[in-house]
């Protein structure tokens, strides 16, 4: 394990790191070649657009609030205590439409390039640059739906 044995405190991330990614605060808690886990604060009315992790399984364990995860043509609602499973290669988008901040713990396995991606995305707000950097780190955003 890259972090070694020990405890990551509730208040801080590894090496006191946290990132602002698409308006969410991501705080890394564990990183190894096999898994990456981070705490997330997801403000109301924010989202992560539909995307695919072609090389990783991803999950979310809800702590507070509610999220909607769109995948497989359905909307899945998750609240405190629920676990959302997003298999490798399955397109998914994550939306907080609840009117309140949601907190949760995300994880991916294996880690691949996601830890490095969050460092690269920290504070980036240009959508084209977010998509470009993500593609370089094995996360593929889907194009917006056609306007009818």
Cβ atoms of 74 and 99 within 8 Å: the answer is no
The residue range of the domain holding 32 is: 18-138
- pLDDT band at residue 133 under the 50/70/90 scheme: very high
Query: CATH number for the domain including 67?
Result: 2.60.120.10
More confident residue, 103 or 148: 103
pLDDT value of position 6: 87
Tell me what pLDDT residue 1 has: 46
Q: 4 versus 135: which is more confidently predicted?
A: 135
Q: Tell me the angle at which helices 127-136 and 114-121 cross, rounded to the nearest 10 degrees.
A: 160
Q: What is the pLDDT of residue 4?
A: 79
Other CB atoms within a 10 A radius of the CB of residue 7 amount to 6
pLDDT value for 143: 86
Q: Is residue 145 part of a domain?
A: no
């Amino acid at each position: 394990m890259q972090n070694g044995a020990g405890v990551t405190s509730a208040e801080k991330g590894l090496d006191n790191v946290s990132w602002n990614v698409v308006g969410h605060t991501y705080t890394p808690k564990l990183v190894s070649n096999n898994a990456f886990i981070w705490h997330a604060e997801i403000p109301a009315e924010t989202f992560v657009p539909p995307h695919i992790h072609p090389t990783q399984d991803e999950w979310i364990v809800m702590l507070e609030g509610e999220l909607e995860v769109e995948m497989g043509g359905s909307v899945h609602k998750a609240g405190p205590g629920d676990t959302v499973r997003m298999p490798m290669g399955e397109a998914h988008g994550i939306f907080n439409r609840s009117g309140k901040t949601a907190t949760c713990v995300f994880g991916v396995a294996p880690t691949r390039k996601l830890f490095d991606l969050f460092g690269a995305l920290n504070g980036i707000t240009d959508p084209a640059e977010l998509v470009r950097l993500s593609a370089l780190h094995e996360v593929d955003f889907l194009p917006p739906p056609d306007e009818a």
